[in-house]
Structure 1
Amino acid sequence: MRPGTLLRLALAGTRTDTARVLLTALSAALAAAAALAALTVLAIPEPVGDPYAEAEQYRNALLREPGLRGGTAFALLLLMIPVLALAGQCARLGAPARDRRLAALRLAGATPGQVSRLAVLETGVASLLGTLAALGIHLGGRVLLGRPDARGRLALPTDVLPAPGALAAVVLGLPVVAALATAVLLRRVTTSPLGVTRRVNRERGPRPWSAVLIATGLAAFAFGGLTLRSFDDATDPPVGLLLGLFAGGGLVAMAGVVTGTGWISYSVGRLLHRHARRPAALLAAGRLMADPWAGSRTFAALLAAVIFGAGAAGLRAYFVTQDEIERRQNRLVGIDEGANPFYLSTMNLVDLAVAVAVGIAAAGLLVAVVEGIVARRRAYAALVATGVPRGTLARSIVWQSVLPAVPAIALALGVGLFLARGVFAGATRGSSSYEVCEASADICADAVARQQHTRIVHTPEVRVTPDVPLEHLALLGAGALAAVLVTVGIGLLFLRASTATEELRTT
């Protein structure tokens, strides 16, 4: 098959196929935008001879201070996780219709390798269109937003640009990764002239092996925190080791939570099947046991955002405790000031990033719910034709969406908080001595008279464990659960159209 024919067939299809390509391109554009923003922050040059000098051309301290740019870039890269999960959900949109189209191509004489290459090429081309659009927006934004204020400072690093190799790696690398991921997912898929089959050898439900991944990730963060606290200000810690422990441990723990949702779904389905008596609950129990990994696929982006948000809540609790210690120690010497408020104000930006991530995850969840309803429309139409009310089907869909979500969100909140506690186990303030002048400002300003009115105040070393941020965790969990309920409610709008009796004739 010639490349031109292969490309034309990859982009052919119905309006659902067009929507899948556009949504995949949008997801790739969002991921590329986050990656380009992170690379731009890292591209800010350091002054020669002084690696700790601030870049005074920027307004935001996150860009000015070199020690904060790495964390800013890392947070931007973390935003790619829910976006990539959204891309995975969008790639499943209209899968039954695509399977029938691929089967028709097999019937026309195409080989299994050729139809697999069609699916891979569709994902790769859609992702490439998205990354090229992100690159264009990034370059255009440098021109539109590169206007300094009255003091000559920039709001964003529009005066720097990543290296051409880094830009090419993002623009071309993300489509390649998406295409390779599609190829890996198609390993167990066989396309024949009669349809698409998946070779799955699973006779029993999933096992709770994901707990090993979660424990490994938490242990990596705890070891990284101990390593970091073992170095003093005069010795630089091993940056490469710490980044490996924190990044690797976070990803492993996140993978454990996501895969653990499969075991949670299966266990909830078994309990529901054993104790439920209503038709909607029994239908939901059967679906949860038949496809327990649907929860892992559906809630992957949302759980990643919840873990990130819970970790941010734990970090905020650390900064609040540190501020309280600073204020308490300063009052002993007559100063009514706390710690630098910059870190607490920065957490507001982190919370905004978490809200954006939850919104992106909700979009992916909506796509997954709608796709699940459309993909099983023949089964739903058959149930309606035999007398099952649509309200019963709607309640079963709510059951099978909400029941696994509640324990999965609680697990994600706990893992995110423990990850933060692994690094920031306690707020500390070392012992110190201060000279306090107990007289008027005029006398204290005189070096000779000051000596008669001064005393030495010693402040002891203080170490306080931050409180559990129950309010922030509850708000985050409630927001995630509300996102699940809203997206399921919107998805149920497609139920009536998908349960029409005409759907029984769908092939």
Structure 2
Amino acid sequence: MRPGTFVRLAVAGNRTDAARVALTALSALLASLAVLAALSVLAIQTPPGDSGAHSEQYTNALLREPGLRGGTAFAILLLTIPVLALAGQCARLGAPTRDRRLAALRLAGATPGQVTGIAVLETGLASLIGTLIGLASYLVGRALLHRPDTDGRLPLPTDVLPTLPELALVVLALPMVAAAATALMLRRITATPLGVVRRTRRAGPPRPWPALLIALGVLGAALFQPIREASGDRLTRWFFVGVLVVAFAAVLGVILGAAWISRQTGRLLHRHASSPAQLLAAGRLSEDPWAGSRTFAALLAALVFGAGAAAFRAQFQLRDDIERKQNWQSDFGDGRNEFYLRAVDLVDLAVAVAVAIAAAGLLVMLIEGITARRRTYAALVAGGVPRATIGVSILWQVLTPMVPAVLLALGAGYTIGRLLNPDIVLAGDWETVCRATTELCADPATRDRHTELVRTGGMTYSPDVPLDQLALLGAGAVAATLLTVGLGVLFLRQNTAVEELRAG
């Protein structure tokens, strides 16, 4: 097959295929903007001389201080997680129509490898278009936002630019990753002239083994501080790496555990169902419990990071309160806690954007699910089931596993964040204590062998549990889901017409 034919077949399709390509390009655009913004922060040069010197050309302390730029870039990169999850969800949009188109190509003589190559090329081209638009948007935005104040200082790092190899890597690597992910997802699927066949299916119901990943993340967070204290400053540079590994284990455990939660809540809902809508939702949850892991992946990941950020905020706020209360000039008196709180503000902003992006991905999944099961829903409507009942069943299907999954994500994220931030111990005075009998302590010849210095009068402060912030995160996620379900149900009427019973 000629390359030109490959390209024409990859871009061919109906309006649903065009929407899938557009959403994939949008995901690549958002991901490229996040990566380019993080690279811009890391490209800031520290003034020569002292490695801790501040870059005074910026108004924001997160950009001025070298020690805060890594955390700032890390917070920005968090945005790529829900964006990539959104890209994976967009790839499923219009899957039944695409499957029929691939089957037609096989019937026309295309090989299985050529059919897979067409699907991979479609994703790669869409992602490449998105990254190119993202690069252009970054360069234009950099020029428009370059506005120094009266002192010549900048609010954003618009005076620096990532290197040319870094720009090329972002533009080319993201489409390659998207294409590789598409090829990986299609490795167990074969397009035949009679349709698309999945070679292997998940065997058996989901198991609760993902809880081990969550426990591994919690254990790693609990051991992180003792290992760091025992090793001194040698592990300081690996702090963000360790946090990322621990958080990834917990996020993966929460996402995979959503399947087990879906199955258990489906069984519980079936046992106590009191309406046809609940029975329909319970049947769907029991039939495909893995849909929960696919649907809520980006949202649960954002909540884990958001709850962890809430734990860090509580710790920094406690340090700041102690400083203000006692007016310390050492240990906590350098004013850096305000900078850290601003860094956490950036993480909170990233989490809010991530929740919005995850809600958009959830909307894509709901529309795709309604479209894929339109014949089933049309048969229910033809049999006398009201459309309102089907809409309520979709609401039950989404919210029933989501609420416990959200609680699990918030609990895991906060627990890990709390373990990474131990209690604050304020030192007291050193006193000499003799650990022996009265006779040995009274004898000058033996007293020195049994005496030791002990710190007394110290105080330990523990940060409060930020219930208000955790509740706001959970309520925001549920509210975004309710809004998404409401928008998705709007597509129910046009996909439950009786004519859909004759659709292919």
CA distance in structure 2 between the aligned counterparts of 1:151 and 1:283, rounded to whole angstroms: 65
CA distance in structure 2 between the aligned counterparts of 1:328 and 1:123, rounded to whole angstroms: 57
- Of 383, 388, 394, the residue aligned with 1:386 is 383
Asked whether the equivalents of residues 226 and 423 of structure 1 are also in contact (C-alpha less than 8 Å), the reply is: no
- Of 495, 498, 503, the residue aligned with 1:498 is 495
Is 1:327 equivalent to 2:324 in the alignment?
yes
CA distance in structure 2 between the aligned counterparts of 1:239 and 1:319, rounded to whole angstroms: 18
1:63-107 per-residue CA deviation (whole Å, 9 max, x = no partner) reads 000000000011111111011111111111111111111111111
- Of 362, 368, 392, the residue aligned with 2:359 is 362
Give structure 1 stretches of 5+ with no counterpart.
434-457
Compute the displacement of 1:242 (Å).
3.0
CA distance in structure 1 between the aligned counterparts of 2:503 and 2:370, rounded to whole angstroms: 14
Q: Return 46-55 or 372-381, whichever deviates more.
A: 46-55
Partner residue in 1 for 2:461? 464
Partner residue in 1 for 2:234? 237
Partner residue in 2 for 1:221? 221
Q: Return 192-201 or 344-353, whichever deviates more.
A: 344-353
CA distance in structure 2 between the aligned counterparts of 1:459 and 1:492, rounded to whole angstroms: 64
Partner residue in 2 for 1:58? 58
Compute the displacement of 1:459 (Å).
11
Asked whether the equivalents of residues 71 and 343 of structure 2 are also in contact (C-alpha less than 8 Å), the reply is: no
Compute the displacement of 1:423 (Å).
1.1
Q: Structure 2 vs 1, CA of residues 427 and 18 (structure 1 numbering), >3 Å: closer, same or farther?
A: same
Compute the displacement of 1:49 (Å).
2.6
Partner residue in 2 for 1:307? 304
Q: Over the residues paired in the alignment, what is the CA RMSD in angstroms? A: 2.2
Q: Structure 2 vs 1, CA of residues 112 and 40 (structure 1 numbering), >3 Å: closer, same or farther?
A: same
Partner residue in 1 for 2:173? 173
CA distance in structure 1 between the aligned counterparts of 2:25 and 2:387, rounded to whole angstroms: 35
Compute the displacement of 1:356 (Å).
1.2
Is 1:270 equivalent to 2:282 in the alignment?
no
Q: Structure 2 vs 1, CA of residues 29 and 259 (structure 1 numbering), >3 Å: closer, same or farther?
A: same
- Of 344, 347, 358, the residue aligned with 1:347 is 344
Q: Structure 2 vs 1, CA of residues 83 and 331 (structure 1 numbering), >3 Å: closer, same or farther?
A: closer
Equivalent residue runs for 1:78-157 within 5 Å: 78-157=78-157
1:136-189 per-residue CA deviation (whole Å, 9 max, x = no partner) reads 111122221222110110111111111222222211111111111111110111
Amino acid at match of 2:66: P
Partner residue in 2 for 1:189? 189
The DSSP-based 3-state class of the residue aligned with 1:487 is helix
Compute the displacement of 1:277 (Å).
3.9
1:317-376 per-residue CA deviation (whole Å, 9 max, x = no partner) reads 11222122223333999xx99874333344333322221111111111111111111111
Amino acid at match of 1:149: D
Asked whether the equivalents of residues 316 and 347 of structure 1 are also in contact (C-alpha less than 8 Å), the reply is: yes
CA distance in structure 2 between the aligned counterparts of 1:469 and 1:147, rounded to whole angstroms: 37
Q: Structure 2 vs 1, CA of residues 366 and 314 (structure 1 numbering), >3 Å: closer, same or farther?
A: same
Asked whether the equivalents of residues 430 and 461 of structure 1 are also in contact (C-alpha less than 8 Å), the reply is: yes
The DSSP-based 3-state class of the residue aligned with 1:161 is coil
CA distance in structure 1 between the aligned counterparts of 2:361 and 2:154, rounded to whole angstroms: 34
The DSSP-based 3-state class of the residue aligned with 1:237 is helix
Compute the displacement of 1:391 (Å).
1.5
Partner residue in 2 for 1:445? none
CA distance in structure 2 between the aligned counterparts of 1:161 and 1:70, rounded to whole angstroms: 17
Q: Structure 2 vs 1, CA of residues 469 and 8 (structure 1 numbering), >3 Å: closer, same or farther?
A: same
TM-score by length of 1: 0.90
Q: Structure 2 vs 1, CA of residues 25 and 339 (structure 1 numbering), >3 Å: closer, same or farther?
A: closer
Partner residue in 1 for 2:277? 280
Compute the displacement of 1:244 (Å).
3.0
Runs of 4+ in structure 1 over 6 Å off? 336-339
CA distance in structure 1 between the aligned counterparts of 2:55 and 2:457, rounded to whole angstroms: 36
- Of 234, 246, 250, the residue aligned with 2:247 is 250
TM-score by length of 2: 0.91
The DSSP-based 3-state class of the residue aligned with 1:236 is helix
Compute the displacement of 1:281 (Å).
1.1
Partner residue in 1 for 2:449? none
Compute the displacement of 1:118 (Å).
0.7
Q: Structure 2 vs 1, CA of residues 273 and 145 (structure 1 numbering), >3 Å: closer, same or farther?
A: same
Q: Structure 2 vs 1, CA of residues 331 and 236 (structure 1 numbering), >3 Å: closer, same or farther?
A: closer
Amino acid at match of 1:400: Q
1:23-45 per-residue CA deviation (whole Å, 9 max, x = no partner) reads 10000110111011111111111
Is 1:480 equivalent to 2:465 in the alignment?
no
Amino acid at match of 2:479: A
CA distance in structure 2 between the aligned counterparts of 1:113 and 1:432, rounded to whole angstroms: 74
Compute the displacement of 1:229 (Å).
4.1
Partner residue in 1 for 2:452? none
CA distance in structure 2 between the aligned counterparts of 1:369 and 1:92, rounded to whole angstroms: 11
Q: Return 298-307 or 162-171, whichever deviates more.
A: 162-171
Asked whether the equivalents of residues 325 and 462 of structure 1 are also in contact (C-alpha less than 8 Å), the reply is: no
**Percent identity of equivalent pairs:** 63
Amino acid at match of 1:112: P
Partner residue in 2 for 1:210? 210
Asked whether the equivalents of residues 284 and 397 of structure 2 are also in contact (C-alpha less than 8 Å), the reply is: yes
CA distance in structure 2 between the aligned counterparts of 1:338 and 1:44, rounded to whole angstroms: 23
Asked whether the equivalents of residues 327 and 339 of structure 1 are also in contact (C-alpha less than 8 Å), the reply is: no
Partner residue in 2 for 1:441? none
CA distance in structure 2 between the aligned counterparts of 1:76 and 1:341, rounded to whole angstroms: 19
CA distance in structure 1 between the aligned counterparts of 2:489 and 2:145, rounded to whole angstroms: 41
Asked whether the equivalents of residues 216 and 253 of structure 1 are also in contact (C-alpha less than 8 Å), the reply is: yes
Compute the displacement of 1:304 (Å).
1.1
Q: Structure 2 vs 1, CA of residues 400 and 198 (structure 1 numbering), >3 Å: closer, same or farther?
A: same
Asked whether the equivalents of residues 228 and 236 of structure 2 are also in contact (C-alpha less than 8 Å), the reply is: no
Compute the displacement of 1:274 (Å).
2.5
Asked whether the equivalents of residues 325 and 429 of structure 1 are also in contact (C-alpha less than 8 Å), the reply is: no
Asked whether the equivalents of residues 189 and 199 of structure 1 are also in contact (C-alpha less than 8 Å), the reply is: yes
Give structure 2 stretches of 5+ with no counterpart.
431-454
CA distance in structure 2 between the aligned counterparts of 1:215 and 1:365, rounded to whole angstroms: 27
1:466-502 per-residue CA deviation (whole Å, 9 max, x = no partner) reads 1111111111101101111110011000001100001
Asked whether the equivalents of residues 62 and 339 of structure 2 are also in contact (C-alpha less than 8 Å), the reply is: no
1:216-250 per-residue CA deviation (whole Å, 9 max, x = no partner) reads 1222222223333446xxx5332454333211111
Asked whether the equivalents of residues 146 and 158 of structure 1 are also in contact (C-alpha less than 8 Å), the reply is: yes
